[in-house]
Amino acid sequence: MRTHASPSRCLTHRIVRLAAIVCGYGMLAACGTLQTRMPQEKPIVVATSIDEGPRTYLETMHGLASSDPARQADLFYEVERDYTRAPTTTNTLRYAAALVTTGHPAAKLPEGKKLLETLLASPERMSTSERTLAAVLLHETDENLKLAAENRRLLETLDDRGRTQANSDKRVQAQVEENAKLRRALADAQQKLDAIKEIERTIIERSPTSPGGRDPTNPSETQSSSAGR
């Protein structure tokens, strides 16, 4: 049976993947520099801190992926405070990374995207690993914003269809109720008509004379009428 990964685990995998990408670009850049400067010399193994560049940013993102709301709030407050006090390139990139990291209440993708675009507009102010991290974060943020927009569109479509269906159901229900009301009124009218017919029939049956005012079954009345002539 397939299981779904938790949001924190997915974000952790994302952070690891980002670290691998950034470190890979950094190693390629370092190798290119060594080959350009010393093509005739033997390769020299230099102790570099390739992973030190993005480490601060990745640790921030990892901390915001925590399931502890208090830790998330404290970490974001620290990042935002550092950026507000001193909006250096490092603090700005760290704050942007915090804003575009999903899974915590203070995430604001549009605002983080603007900061990343501003940083990438002056790439000379960042190191190679920072530029790579900013570019990757911007790409993923664009994709997340597109997905969010598509989700909103689908939800609006479902809401519209739900309202249309609800209105249709209301019209159908109103028509059913109106038909039932008409049937009840028709039944009442038929009962009244039947009652009137029954009264008329009873009156006719109980009447002792014919419509001419004489009772044809009374011989004396018939003889009196003949004598008068």
Domain boundaries, the chain: 7-153
pLDDT score, position 18: 60
pLDDT score, position 66: 85
pLDDT score, position 93: 96
Angle at 142 between CA 3 and CA 69, to 5 degrees: 55
CA distance 29 to 41: 18
Q: What is residue 130's DSSP assignment?
A: H
pLDDT score, position 219: 54
CA distance 227 to 229: 5
Q: Is 6 left (phi over 0), alpha (psi -120 to 50) or beta?
A: beta
pLDDT score, position 9: 54
CA-to-CA dists, residue 124 to 32, 148, 197, angstroms: 18, 32, 104
Is 209:215 a contact under the CB 8 Å cutoff? yes
pLDDT score, position 33: 43
| Intervals of the chain under pLDDT 50 | 1-4, 27-51
